[in-house]
Chains A and B, each alone.
Chain A
């Protein structure tokens, strides 16, 4: 019996294929149990996220091809399989799981959500009785490796998205964002993502304004904020700490005089302004005001790119940790 991993992910399969193989939590367990019912499969854990579906199994020799056939049949997949699936065996399968748990194989390198997803998938499989000696030891070790990789390397340092970079900037100015107020000018997708990222770090109130008041109200409802009309958004400047602008306007929406008018009322408190629009919404001269910290999409993109580069540079160190840990563990099923 040996350990195998069969899977497909964002690098090997387009979204229309991935969605065919995607499984709910309940279905993951069901499929694992059904796999065990067939001959030659001793243990299984099925992992399914928006970017991957993977089967970890302990099978008889040659069982991985049988596993692939079974999975394709189960999901009624008749298209070309070329390059869609990857197979890993024994030590390579163990190393792959460690990479997945550490976020090294994720679309956003180093993201942390995958660790919880792997844990959930393992727990479900364990509770349904489809794991035993080999997979139990392997997953426990993979969780240990995942933790060590995250704490001993820079794989998750820095923000790799525009929204994340905006949060990082706001934290550099305000420290903790707990209790801070945000204004979103424009009700587009980027505004929503950035506002939600700030909320997730503690921003307590969000004011949304948009040329179409209905769109502002809709976004405000979605994120638990308040909508204000596009005619009097300037009146709310007094209360806010962060302004995010992402409208489709062909001219500057926020001008120096808008900020100058409220400086005294704000008692010259720091104000961070993030302009994610192209063409820009905020007149660059606004950045000349002493307590204003203005950043545009290029700055955020550069920050995200640099963080990504730093994370890529950490991959070698992470691989070293995985190799060392697997060597130390001497897991069964690796021959």
Chain B
């Protein structure tokens, strides 16, 4: 059954990407990507619910679960942000990332076939894992908004003002605002994740936690500079995209 939910989520997110692209000129909730992503989100929840039941803990124990949790988190923040700031086009950029993450989960071997049920559950450890991955959803979305900004900025600078990807694009100001707000939310959630990590029962400082703290500091510096001193939108966008990419790569290696 859980594979059915996963396939459903992938099909719906793919539809979100395709239909969202063709309806991108429509504003707000008119953008069909939004509703396809709502469907994908429900399927992701059902899958994670079943997996959590099987494990008896937060389902973040294998590559497949981590990727799906990240896809769920990304979808969650898109749904919140997309409707609040009328950044529906963000869905067109988000949906392909969600599809890729879910395809990784669907890859044979990514999910344990018979996951073992946890005997002892450390609440701090669970919180650390869940909040960290959740924050990565927001930070991924901020990076997606950053990519959108870089494309928009490049087109505006080159005076390529109409057609193609420019149809339905939010304004420069709105994207800068969205990048800063989403990244701030991600950073706050990451703070909870890092603090929970430091309170884990194991008590040892491992490489994973060190990287998490460094990531937290770097995001704090970037956002601090933006809010206190100010930062051109392009630099903020590059900062968010590169920080996300590098930290994800480092976590992947660990």
Contacts and interface: CB of A to CB of B under 8 A. Distances in A.
A70 interface: no
B172 A270 contact: yes
Given A173-B156, A306-B162, A290 B232 contact: yes
A212 interface: no
Interface string A282-303: 0000010011010100010001
Contacts of A158: 162
Contact of B171 (A175, A267, A287, A303): A175
A173 B172 contact: yes
Interface in B121-170: 156-157, 159, 161-162, 169-170
B173 A174 contact: yes
A172 B171 contact: yes
A3 to B, nearest CB: 39
Contacts of A293: 156-157, 172
A61 interface: no
Nearest to A165: B161
B242 interface: no
A214 interface: no
B252 interface: no
A26 B232 CA distance: 56
B183 to A, nearest CB: 16
A88 interface: no
Given A264-B229, A290-B235, A270 B157 contact: no
A295 B158 CA distance: 10
A290 B230 CA distance: 13
B161 A169 contact: yes
Interface string B108-121: 00000000000000
B38 to A, nearest CB: 25
B192 interface: no
Contacts of A299: 159, 161
B212 to A, nearest CB: 30
B171 A264 contact: no
A266 B229 CA distance: 10
B171 A291 contact: no
B20 interface: no
A291 B233 contact: yes
B240 to A, nearest CB: 15
B84 to A, nearest CB: 14
A270 B159 contact: no
A19 to B, nearest CB: 38
Contacts of B157: 287, 293
B173 A303 contact: no
Given A270-B172, A270-B173, A172 B230 contact: no
A109 B135 CA distance: 51
Contacts of A173: 156, 171-173
Nearest to A169: B161
A231 to B, nearest CB: 27
A266 B232 CA distance: 10
Interface string A165-183: 0000101111100000000
B11 to A, nearest CB: 33
Given A293-B156, A295-B159, A172 B231 contact: no
B230 A270 contact: no
B208 interface: no
A48 to B, nearest CB: 36
Contact of B229 (A172, A267, A287): A267
B176 interface: yes
Contacts of B159: 295, 299
Identify the interface centre among A158, A270, A287: most chain B CB within 10 Å of its CB: A270
A227 B171 CA distance: 30
Contact of A268 (B171, B174, B232): B232
Nearest to B156: A293
Contacts of B170: 175
A269 interface: yes
A293 B157 CA distance: 6
A269 B159 CA distance: 19
Nearest to A288: B157
B218 to A, nearest CB: 20
A172 B161 CA distance: 9
Contacts of A174: 171-173
Contacts of B233: 268, 270, 290-291
B172 A267 contact: no
Given A169-B161, A299-B159, A268 B231 contact: yes
A270 B161 contact: no
Contacts of B172: 172-174, 270, 293
Nearest to B86: A175
Given A175-B173, A270-B172, A293-B157, 20 more contacts: A158-B162, A172-B171, A173-B173, A174-B171, A174-B173, A175-B170, A175-B171, A264-B230, A268-B232, A268-B233, A269-B230, A270-B173, A290-B233, A290-B235, A291-B233, A291-B234, A293-B156, A295-B159, A299-B159, A303-B162
16 contacts: A172-B156, A172-B169, A173-B173, A175-B170, A175-B173, A175-B174, A268-B230, A269-B230, A270-B173, A290-B234, A291-B232, A291-B233, A293-B172, A299-B159, A299-B161, A303-B162
Interface of B: 156-157, 159, 161-162, 169-174, 176, 229-235
Nearest 4 CB-CB pairings of A with B: A267-B230, A175-B171, A290-B232, A268-B230
